[in-house]
Structure 1
Amino acid sequence: MKNTISHRVADFLKNFPPFNFLQPKEIELLSEQISIIYKEKDSVIFAENEETHTSFYVVHKGAVALINSSENDVLDMCDEGDIFGLRPLIANENYKMEAKTFEETILYAIPIAFFKPYAQDNRAVGNFLIESFASNTLNPYSKSHRGKLYGENIGTETVENDKNLIDIQPVKYSKKIVTCSSITTAKSIAETMTKKNVGAILVLEDKLPIGIITDKDLRNKIVTGEYPITTTAGVIMTSPVITYSKKLTITQAQMAMMKSNISHLCLTKDGTPNTKAIGILSKHDVMVALGNNPAVLIKAVKRAKKYKDIKPIRASIMHLLQGYLDQNIPMTLTSKIITELNDVCIQQVIAIALKKMSTPPPVKFAWLALGSQGRSEQLLHTDQDNALVYENVSEELETKTKKYFLELATHVNKGLFDIGYEYCPAEMMASNPKWCLSLKEWKNQVHHWITNPGKNEVLLSFIFFDYSLSYGATEIVNNLSDYIFDTINANPVFYVHLVSGALQSPSPTGFFRQFLLEQDGANKDFFDIKRRALMPLADAARVLIISHSVKSISNTPERFEKLAELEPTNKELYLACSYSYKALLKFRTKQGLLHHDSGQYIALESLSKLEKIKLKRTFKTIKELQEIITIRFNVSNIL
């Protein structure tokens, strides 16, 4: 005779992870072993430091709060279908928090001894359990909990050894770096390169790379007679050095070389010129390892003569993005590759626009990408956010110079529109005279924002301080960056206003873990993943990285990873924030591709239970991160 109770249990479990990864027969066998427990409101299921039970639990009806007893702080709220009490399954230690019913609750107790073989034999089940357990320690892939079920590391940032994905494998580079100083002569450099049989030599100052000299430089500058053989490295070197981290992939390396028309890349400890060089990569190294990759798209973009020629290539970039997401390629690599491709499209639009001008630029200039594009996080087709900064000129030439760059910016903005970037509704574009300024004017603007930080000034600084160079003179951008850091350091109260602005983003969930939806307007009853989840993380990362005066890192996950290095005591939290941001960005990108929009507003009814669980899990870091910046910058006592 069929056990109707266990049959009902099976019907319930099959709808929720990780049980939905099991075969129907396995769920039926498991359901026969499950105990059903009724608990009244405020009943303690297990206490903090209590010895672990022989079962873990699933909420059938009701809700269970997971509480830090010492601080009486609710860490999580489990509702229908959620699992908790996984510690005895993963780690042989007492419970680290209290589990208490929030209302009348019915629980299913899953015997660990019976269930563990399922977790060990079924990778999807094991992955989900490890994620669920580790998420209560903030980082869903906490190093201390990886491999507890399998005896090996598990993580979403792992690339399988697939020959079809050779282009996103880490590239092999030479660790034997040949170096010289800026006063070394060309003759000595040539002798050293010949002796060491290398095609490039790094120029160092205080152990940091300031320039590079290649065989090509010696041919073009010394052998031609342009400079004598006694010329020093500081004169003939190429500077600044284009640097990347050692995690560089084959695709990234080739795209970087093609984009900048160079044959060597310098690899440094953190990917910026501000840390020690650890390797050098040549075009030959890349060609040896190269397979099919997005570099063909770069070639196609660079061959484009008109704006309209680039638009179909951008469509191909979106297909590539979809393919990477479908193959579950790590978001770190996906965003870098797509950003590089988008940057090349923008650069080619600017190159075409320059040809439309009657004369070359009167002075050096820099085209800046702002906001999400400046952070290398704009993967979908969204609107434009950009600015232009040009060298200072005399007062009598200012009007003529500004007119030239406004005309150029108008061409570029139209070109970007033609290839798929909508115009910014707020006109935050370089064709707007407010966003096309000389270096001196930009400094005056930044000084005003920092010393008169009203609501609008803080909002503008949030957008503008996340800039990156798309095209033009690096030295102009570096000059402006130095000024921003110096001015903020001279006006530390500005941090308080930055933090206050960062705390304005609305919470993603209510007390009972319900998603907080838009209450009115065109997106009523939709969840705003940008404002409620991504922005709080991006805003906090910006404040913290600026407070450390770290330059050259604008990407939010990379900022958190750098912060983990700078603040070891908060390492786990910052790495969790980096993971959460990448997961949220991936989720938004998938939604955008699915619905052919920006992915900002999500209809929750379209999500599965598993998708909602994963989405909620990424929210756990936001509260603690906001508490850190509130306390550190003493916001509550000043404002």
Structure 2
Amino acid sequence: MKNSIAERVVDFLGGYPPFNMLSNKTLLQIATETTITYLEKGDTIFKKDDVCHEHFYMVRNGAINLYYSNGDVKDIMNIHDTGDVFGLRPLITNEPYKLTATANEESIVYAIPIAVFQSATDYNTQVHKYLITAFASNAYDPYSAEVAGEIFVDYLPNRSQDMVNFQTANYTKSPITCCIKTSLKDAAKKMSNHKIGCIVVVDDEKKPVGIITNSDIKNKIATGLFPIETPVTNIMSSPVMTGKKGLTIADGQLQMIKHSIGHLCITKDGTINSKLIGVLTHHDVLVTLGNNPTVILKEIKRAKRTKKLRTARLKANALLKNYIEQNIPISHIINVISQINDAVTIRVVELALKKMPTAPPVTFSWLALGSQGRSEQLLFTDQDNALVFEDVPKEQYEGTQAYFLELAKLITKSLNKIGFEYCEADMMASNPEWCKSLSAWKTQFKDWILKPDEKAVLLSSIFFDYNRVYGSEELVDDLTDTIYATLEKTDLFYKFLGRDAVKSPSPLGFFKQFLVEQNGDQKELFNIKNRALMPLIDAARLLILSKQMRGVNNTYERFEKLAELEPNNKELYESCSYAFKALSKFKTRQGLLRNNSGKFIDLETLTKEEKLKLRRCFKPIQKIQEILKIRFDLKNFI
């Protein structure tokens, strides 16, 4: 006789990781022993310092708060909703719980017996990797944080990784060399001029006889063991380890591990008895193996062409997809991708400066605006940027601006080639309106703040989220000082921002149906950006500006800061922070799935559970908008 309850549990479990990695037979084995628990809001599942249970848990419906408590202080670490697993400590380490788990609302939770689960998944490394990652990303204690750091630094491999291992290694084909009689001083100069970390010592027939690395110089010259003028033969590592042309990544990596080296000399016949034709480094192996954030950043910094930068940024997209699939916390994903985006922009500016006929006439700063300015740009979107340059005499202004406009055109063109589309509204530094001196920018912001209108609010909402990516920090600090000093002179500007922040009502209609587009190409689609994300973004910006808080640009971080500043509204602000992160993750998933920005969603393609998750994220929007209406007295201003 069939167990219909167990089969319903199987249907649910099979839709979420790590259970979607298991066979139906294994799922049924687990589901038959799974306990279903109903919880009222505030009910506790386990408390900090409790002895670990014999189960771990999965949310079927509702939401579960995980928080760290210290006396009367409670810090929410995470909010889990449908499909999320939690309480994994008994699976990983036999220690008391570090967090407390309570129901955030009416909830149904599956309690999955650990012994049954472990028996059913004993040899499934993919499942174990997922659970270790989930545990490390949600744990509170310092040890687990360290484990999480190690997991996140390395690229989480996918099924194609084994194929990559057997690709031909991409080594340096024009290695820098020196002869046996060269002094260490001359060899070091050569390394410095070419910006490399090693140099190969060759004989008269170009056969490799030794190798010198930065470590050799540090350990043998800087310590005083040898004088700087010593011959290279005195400090080189010899004999060298060699490989032949066409060796695979797996072979190269194996040799490096076996001999504890970071460089492999490639010769014609694979031995030290033939001519040197290349060098394979540990960095080369990592670049080929996968999308390690550190490797991508190094690749960006070393890029000399836009094409190389595009390749590196595309690797970041693959990294993003993998992180999303592995259910890595969105806050970590945002931090990683934001660093990569900024690194790409910095390198683009550096390369553009090299193309200019002269050095910049004065100091300047390149500003990222909008989503990149808030460090929230995950997928490729259009560009929003600006440039501020040092004040110059009136007669020099036109020529100075012309220089920076030319520079900005090179930069925006390269960013476009990399994948960041031109802004349709031309809100880019290549537009004279967004390429100005410090004084001109100060005047602009004063006009927006003191004489607000519809256009001013639209533009300032983008420009208030600026972030200095390259150039003078002092210029940007000076501009910021002026902005906040001007904000103290008026309340009217806040009302305009407030009116803009509440113009989009809750994304749900009267009968709790999704509000979709009514006409145009996007008819019947749901605009998750405008209807769900922007109300939270606008609210966070307005509230943080009204608190005169500087240096907090990211939306979820703004809400977390507001929770600190207003303990009486802490629960709402934390809910807004969580909702923003969940919506961002949902939008990113949709964008990756459909190879677009993820802005518009076809609701018919969503499962019931996905729709429920979306609806839950909408709850704080109405509440935060009510606060804005009261705080900024918008009742008669809308």
TM-score range, shorter chain: 0.5 to 0.7
Residue 123 (structure 1) aligns with = 56
Secondary structure, aligned partner of 1:469: strand
Structure 1 counterpart of 2:138, one-letter code: T
Q: Aligned pair 1:582/2:562, yes or no?
A: no
- Residue 321 of structure 1 deviates from its aligned partner by 1.3
TM-score normalised over the length of structure 1: 0.62
- Structure-2 change in CA distance of 1:168 and 1:387 (3 Å): same
- Supply the distance in 1 between the matched residues of 2:479 and 2:518 (Cα, whole angstroms): 41
- Supply the distance in 1 between the matched residues of 2:298 and 2:79 (Cα, whole angstroms): 41
- Structure-2 change in CA distance of 1:134 and 1:603 (3 Å): farther
Residue 316 (structure 1) aligns with = 315
Q: Aligned pair 1:158/2:105, yes or no?
A: no
Secondary structure, aligned partner of 2:307: helix
- Supply the distance in 1 between the matched residues of 2:28 and 2:513 (Cα, whole angstroms): 30
Query: After superposition, where does 1:71-220 map in structure 2 within 5 Å?
Result: 85=40, 123-125=56-58, 127-128=59-60, 131=63, 141=78, 152=97, 153=99, 158=138, 166=150, 168=152
Residue 461 (structure 1) aligns with = 460
- Residue 129 of structure 1 deviates from its aligned partner by 5.2
Question: Is the 2:324–2:589 contact (alpha carbons within 8 Å) kept by the matching residues of 1?
Answer: yes
Question: Is the 1:311–1:420 contact (alpha carbons within 8 Å) kept by the matching residues of 2?
Answer: yes
- Structure-2 change in CA distance of 1:140 and 1:523 (3 Å): farther
Residue 421 (structure 1) aligns with = 420
Residue 623 (structure 1) aligns with = 622
Structure 1 counterpart of 2:545, one-letter code: I
Residue 385 (structure 2) aligns with = 386
Same amino acid, percent of matched pairs: 46
- Supply the distance in 2 between the matched residues of 1:308 and 1:88 (Cα, whole angstroms): 55
Residue 236 (structure 2) aligns with = none
- Structure-2 change in CA distance of 1:517 and 1:16 (3 Å): farther
Aligned residues: 436
Question: Is the 2:299–2:312 contact (alpha carbons within 8 Å) kept by the matching residues of 1?
Answer: yes
Residue 570 (structure 2) aligns with = 571
- Structure-2 change in CA distance of 1:489 and 1:25 (3 Å): same
Structure 2 counterpart of 1:158, one-letter code: N
Residue 201 (structure 1) aligns with = none
- Supply the distance in 1 between the matched residues of 2:150 and 2:66 (Cα, whole angstroms): 31
- Supply the distance in 2 between the matched residues of 1:169 and 1:533 (Cα, whole angstroms): 32
Residue 164 (structure 2) aligns with = none
Which region of structure 1 is more displaced relative to structure 2, 415-424 or 11-20?
11-20
Structure 2 counterpart of 1:131, one-letter code: A
- Supply the distance in 2 between the matched residues of 1:444 and 1:161 (Cα, whole angstroms): 46
- Structure-2 change in CA distance of 1:148 and 1:373 (3 Å): closer
- Supply the distance in 1 between the matched residues of 2:89 and 2:297 (Cα, whole angstroms): 43
Question: Is the 1:347–1:471 contact (alpha carbons within 8 Å) kept by the matching residues of 2?
Answer: yes
- Supply the distance in 1 between the matched residues of 2:11 and 2:301 (Cα, whole angstroms): 50
Which region of structure 1 is more displaced relative to structure 2, 421-430 or 612-621?
612-621
**Residue ranges of structure 2 left out of the alignment (5+ in a row):** 20-25, 48-52, 68-75, 81-85, 91-95, 102-133, 155-289
Structure 2 counterpart of 1:614, one-letter code: K
- Residue 413 of structure 1 deviates from its aligned partner by 0.5
- Residue 538 of structure 1 deviates from its aligned partner by 0.8
Q: Please give the per-residue CA displacement for 1:304-343, whole angstroms capped at 9, x wherever unaligned.
A: 1121221111111111112222222221111111111111
Residue 530 (structure 1) aligns with = 529
Secondary structure, aligned partner of 1:379: coil
Q: Please give the per-residue CA displacement for 1:586-625, whole angstroms capped at 9, x wherever unaligned.
A: 1111111111111111112222222222222111111111
Structure 2 counterpart of 1:556, one-letter code: T
Question: Is the 1:382–1:421 contact (alpha carbons within 8 Å) kept by the matching residues of 2?
Answer: yes
- Residue 513 of structure 1 deviates from its aligned partner by 2.3
- Structure-2 change in CA distance of 1:164 and 1:623 (3 Å): closer
Residue 375 (structure 1) aligns with = 374
Secondary structure, aligned partner of 2:488: helix
Secondary structure, aligned partner of 2:367: strand
- Structure-2 change in CA distance of 1:317 and 1:154 (3 Å): farther
- Supply the distance in 2 between the matched residues of 1:90 and 1:417 (Cα, whole angstroms): 51
- Supply the distance in 1 between the matched residues of 2:631 and 2:455 (Cα, whole angstroms): 24
Structure 1 counterpart of 2:63, one-letter code: E
- Supply the distance in 2 between the matched residues of 1:19 and 1:555 (Cα, whole angstroms): 32
- Structure-2 change in CA distance of 1:504 and 1:121 (3 Å): farther
Residue 404 (structure 1) aligns with = 403
Query: After superposition, where does 1:283-294 map in structure 2 within 5 Å?
Result: 293-294=292-293
- Supply the distance in 2 between the matched residues of 1:429 and 1:345 (Cα, whole angstroms): 17
- Supply the distance in 2 between the matched residues of 1:305 and 1:26 (Cα, whole angstroms): 54
- Supply the distance in 2 between the matched residues of 1:565 and 1:163 (Cα, whole angstroms): 28
Secondary structure, aligned partner of 1:535: helix
- Supply the distance in 1 between the matched residues of 2:321 and 2:9 (Cα, whole angstroms): 32
- Structure-2 change in CA distance of 1:121 and 1:516 (3 Å): farther
- Structure-2 change in CA distance of 1:140 and 1:626 (3 Å): farther
Residue 603 (structure 1) aligns with = 602
- Structure-2 change in CA distance of 1:19 and 1:90 (3 Å): farther
Residue 549 (structure 2) aligns with = 550
Residue 477 (structure 1) aligns with = 476
- Structure-2 change in CA distance of 1:629 and 1:431 (3 Å): same
- Supply the distance in 1 between the matched residues of 2:43 and 2:296 (Cα, whole angstroms): 51
- Supply the distance in 2 between the matched residues of 1:325 and 1:573 (Cα, whole angstroms): 26
- Supply the distance in 2 between the matched residues of 1:507 and 1:475 (Cα, whole angstroms): 41
Q: Aligned pair 1:356/2:355, yes or no?
A: yes
Question: Is the 1:167–1:293 contact (alpha carbons within 8 Å) kept by the matching residues of 2?
Answer: no
Secondary structure, aligned partner of 1:636: coil
- Supply the distance in 2 between the matched residues of 1:572 and 1:375 (Cα, whole angstroms): 23
TM-score normalised over the length of structure 2: 0.62
Residue 227 (structure 2) aligns with = none
Question: Relative CO higher for 1 or 2, CA cutoff 8 Å, sep ≥ 6?
Answer: 1
Q: Please give the per-residue CA displacement for 1:264-291, whole angstroms capped at 9, x wherever unaligned.
A: xxxxxxxxxxxxxxxxxxxxxxxxxxx9
Q: Please give the per-residue CA displacement for 1:359-410, whole angstroms capped at 9, x wherever unaligned.
A: 1111111111000110000011111000111111111001101111111111
Residue 633 (structure 2) aligns with = 634
Which region of structure 1 is more displaced relative to structure 2, 461-470 or 597-606?
597-606
Residue 282 (structure 1) aligns with = none
Q: Please give the per-residue CA displacement for 1:460-488, whole angstroms capped at 9, x wherever unaligned.
A: 11100001001111111111111111111
Structure 2 counterpart of 1:321, one-letter code: L
- Structure-2 change in CA distance of 1:297 and 1:140 (3 Å): closer
Query: After superposition, where does 1:23-42 map in structure 2 within 5 Å?
Result: none
Question: Is the 1:366–1:388 contact (alpha carbons within 8 Å) kept by the matching residues of 2?
Answer: yes
Residue 443 (structure 1) aligns with = 442
Q: Please give the per-residue CA displacement for 1:126-158, whole angstroms capped at 9, x wherever unaligned.
A: x445726899xxx89469xx9799983378751
- Supply the distance in 2 between the matched residues of 1:30 and 1:619 (Cα, whole angstroms): 31
- Supply the distance in 1 between the matched residues of 2:580 and 2:472 (Cα, whole angstroms): 31
Query: How well do the aligned residues superpose, as a CA RMSD in angstroms?
Result: 3.7
Question: Is the 1:561–1:575 contact (alpha carbons within 8 Å) kept by the matching residues of 2?
Answer: yes
- Residue 637 of structure 1 deviates from its aligned partner by 4.0
Structure 2 counterpart of 1:308, one-letter code: K
- Supply the distance in 2 between the matched residues of 1:502 and 1:467 (Cα, whole angstroms): 18
Secondary structure, aligned partner of 1:458: helix
- Supply the distance in 2 between the matched residues of 1:17 and 1:296 (Cα, whole angstroms): 36
